[in-house]
Amino acid sequence: MSNNEIFKKLRVALHLRNDEIIEIMGLVDFRITKSELGAFFRKEDHPNFKKCGDQVLRNFLNGLVIHMRGRKETDNDENIED
């Protein structure tokens, strides 16, 4: 299964629109345009198809974790002894 197929399946399963995906990518400071994003979701034989690289998918997944769970909070109280 290719990165493009994984990306498409996640988009459909999570009911995400392109603008929501762009916002999710922004959570990890990864900028992508709507046209670049649309190229990943085209059929392979389309002239504007673009292969989704590992970096793009990795940043989407990291952003998705933040989107779903929120930012990780550091708990400084655990290291303080009473």
Q: Average pLDDT over the chain, rounded to whole?
A: 90
81 pLDDT tier (thresholds 50, 70, 90): low
For the segment 59-69, the average pLDDT, to the nearest whole number, is: 94
For the segment 32-60, the average pLDDT, to the nearest whole number, is: 95
Asked whether residue 17 carries a pLDDT value surpassing 70, the answer given is yes
Chain mean position to CA 62: 7
Question: Which residues, 6 or more positions from 33, have their beta carbon under 8 angstroms from its beta carbon?
Answer: 22
For the segment 29-51, the average pLDDT, to the nearest whole number, is: 94
- Ordered alpha helix ranges (H), 16-81: 18-26, 34-40, 54-69
Residues 32 and 56 sit within 8 Å (Cβ to Cβ) = yes
